[in-house]
Amino acid sequence: MGRFVVDFVCHRSRLVVEVDGEVHDIDAVAARDNERDTWLASRGYRVVRFTNSQAIAATQATVEAIVAAAGACTPTPDPSPQGGGERRRGPRA
């Protein structure tokens, strides 16, 4: 997405799912993750993260968390990348 790579994305729910290995504990990698998360958030996407261990050892709980996150209301970024949203206040002269 943009100049970033994400693991999984659901555009309808504006949700990104990341499954991270231990490399994400390295400061430089964590900083890059933060930069990507900030960029995604500015476009209305939420990021949920799971460790590889969580995804493997607690698969059902991970899936349930993803389904819950996908069903949660996601705010539209300000300004909306789709534009519009302005309302007219009465007839134009």
| pLDDT score of 27 | 82
How far the first Cα of the chain sits from its last, in Å, is 43
Specify the pLDDT at position 81.
56
pLDDT above 50: residue 92: no
Strand partners, 19: 50
Query: Which tokens hold the place of 47?
Result: 């990021």
Binning pLDDT at 50, 70 and 90, where does residue 29 land?
confident
pTM: 0.70
pLDDT at 38 over 90: yes
The tally of CA atoms less than 13 A away on the side-chain side of residue 77 is 15
Quickly list H helices, 18-80.
27-41, 52-57, 59-71
Report the distance separating Cα 79 and Cα 25, nearest Å.
33
